[in-house]
Structure formats: structure tokens, C-alpha cells
Amino acid sequence: MQTAIIIVDHGSRMAESNRLLEQVAEAFGKRFSERYAIVEPAHMELAEPSIAAAYHRCVERGGDRIVVCPFFLGPGKHWTGDIPRLTAEACSKHPGTRYHVTPPLGLDDLILELLQKRVEGCANSDFSCDSCRGTSRSG
């Protein structure tokens, strides 16, 4: 049995946002390559690859146990309904495979550390960091 990972976000009309998920999946795959040889990105809607396409790709690469990880903070309707439904539909096209959808990222000490990192970055740049200078995000 080979476990494959699908990291899924909502999907966006903004290519930059969709590329971010690809970078997350690639970084996760590199960092945890000893545990998971198969890691694929997927978007729930609005962009490709879809959950069905990512599931198919996982199976093509030898995965038969698919862990779907929502790249969401909270347990909204996408986690409770849409992602499980779309994953079940994808699974039905691949007999002999199993799946499980993980909880969303939620409240975790690592999330709190990341929030502190972002706050500190703004405060330490005197509210004029490179990514926000001259935009409506800084005033």
C-alpha cells in the first residue's frame, strides 16, 4: 500500500494564488519525501487540477490510500460537504483505493507562531515592508 497526499485549496481566479498551492505541495513533498513519495495539489473549484484530476494522478503514480488535506483554516461547508463529496466521486472511479479527508488547519501553536511572524514583520519594518509599501494594505 502506498499513501498519497492531496493538498487542496478553494481555487482562485488569481494565478498567483493557485501557484502558491503548487509551491506548498512541492515544498511538502520535498520536506516529507521519506514518508510520502506522492504529493499532488488540487483546487476545489475555479482552477485546475481538480480533486478528481489530482486523485487520478495519485493513482497513476501508485497511490492506493489517498489522504486529502484541506488547506483551509476552519471547518466550513467545503470541509464538511464539498471536499468529501468530490473526493468520494474521484474514488469511485478508482476501485481498490481508499481516502480520508483530514481536518482543516485550525487552531494550532504553529498557526499562532506564523501569525506572530507576520505581525512582527510588519511592526519591524515600521509598517512599510516591501510587499505592502505603496498598496492599500499599508496606510
Q: Which three cell numbers stand for residue 130?
A: 516591501
Torsion sign, CA atoms 129, 131, 135, 137: negative
pLDDT single digits (tens) 95-137:
999 999 999 999 999 999 999 998 898 888 877 777 777 778 7
What is the rounded distance in angstroms from the CA atom of residue 27 to the CA atom of residue 30? 5
CB of 101 within 8 A of CB of 88?
A: no
Predicted TM-score (pTM) of this structure: 0.90
Strand boundaries in 10-102, DSSP class E: 38-43, 65-70, 98-101
pLDDT single digits (tens) 43-102:
999 999 999 999 999 999 999 999 999 999 999 999 999 999 999 999 999 999 999 999
